[in-house]
Amino acid sequence: MKCQDFSSVLRTYADVLDLAGEPAARDQMVMFAAVFDADPTSSVTDLAKRIAALPVAGSAGSPTLGDVARQLSALTGFLSKTAKSTVLSEVGAVEKLLHERASMELAAFARMATAAAACRRPAKGRGAAAGRDVPGAPDDLVIRYKEKLEAALGDEEKFNAIYNDLCANPAVGKPEIIALAKRMTGGGGRTQDAALKKIWNRHRSLMMFKAKSRATGGRSAA
């Protein structure tokens, strides 16, 4: 099942929850559905695997993924009477992912998962080739994104916007992503996904440090 189809199912279910007088549950479903809107043509299974590979953020707050999992479980029970086994298998993979991260805040998960969904690399085409036809263009891109990303480190909204732009840019391919990760973290990784994770983890580590610093009144063990 395509992500766009699954999103449509989730939004229809959200409408049902609204009619049943459950506005909070409806809002949870709408927020969760937005993750699948970020990569509409991928399969649900493929996106679930990519999200499962991401680090488990230690965010606290509500609603949680456990809350969404309970809503999805009810939907699965309804679909089991009409849906094909392949569809149920895909929904089951998503439900398993939610249960494994049950304590994670839904909003934090949505931001992280949407970024991962948006980072599905487009197939090579004219756009990707065009960036490499200009002498020095790939290195210029690496420098430009390095400056922009490092300036936004620790700022959730700004970093996410630049990170998503990086992922969606057809002129940026595997060589540039790995070079960027090496410049930002000291290690590029062997694959594009590994390099992207290194870039993301640098930002995430800083966010976690800032949160701990606030919790201790700005005091640091260092």
User: What one-character DSSP code corresponds to residue 134?
Assistant: S
Q: Which residue(s) pair with 64 in the sheet?
A: 105
Lowest mean pLDDT among 88-102, 187-201, 208-222: 208-222
Instruction: Write down the domain spans for the chain.
Output: 3-115, 123-215
Report which of residues 186 and 122 the model is more confident about. 186
3 state SS of 64: strand
Give the pLDDT of residue 151: 86
Burial class of residue 82 (count of CB atoms within 10 Å of its CB; 0-12, 13-18, 19+) = exposed
Query: For residue 34, what are the contacts with CB-CB under 8 A and spacing of at least 6?
Result: 7, 110, 114
And the tokens for 145? 């994104």
Cβ–Cβ < 8 Å for 158, 206: no
And the tokens for 119? 């980072």
pLDDT at 96 over 50: yes
Give the pLDDT of residue 202: 83
Q: Which residue(s) pair with 2 in the sheet?
A: 43
3 state SS of 208: helix
pLDDT at 131 over 70: no
And the tokens for 138? 């790939």
Query: Which residue from 67, 81, 88 is spatially nearest to 17, judged by alpha carbons?
Result: 67
pLDDT at 120 over 70: no
| Crossing angle of helices 192-215 and 174-185, rounded to 10° | 30
This prediction's pTM:
0.56
Query: For residue 154, what are the contacts with CB-CB under 8 A and spacing of at least 6?
Result: 203, 206, 207, 210
* Average pLDDT value for residue range 140-155: 85
pLDDT at 47 over 80: yes
Give the pLDDT of residue 122: 47
pLDDT at 104 over 80: yes
